[in-house]
Amino acid sequence: MKCGARCFTVQAEINGKLQSIPVTARTSVQARKVARLEYGEQLNIISVKADPVN
């Protein structure tokens, strides 16, 4: 994990099913990029939200 990384929840549609994907990244843009690299073209991102810090 890189310095400054936080947890994000990516809401996405994968093969017609709505799923929540936990991603560790520095920014929401990087969280989108990580999710796209992992799931490929069948991924349709709906939203990206930062998880609250405890």
d(CA 17, CA 6): 26
pLDDT value for 41: 80
Tell me the Cα Rg of the chain: 11
Reply yes or no on whether the pLDDT at 35 is more than 70: yes
pLDDT mean across residues, the chain: 89
pLDDT grade, residue 1 (50/70/90)? low
pTM of the prediction?
A: 0.82
Reply yes or no on whether the pLDDT at 54 is more than 90: no
> What is the mean pLDDT of the segment spanning 31-38?
93
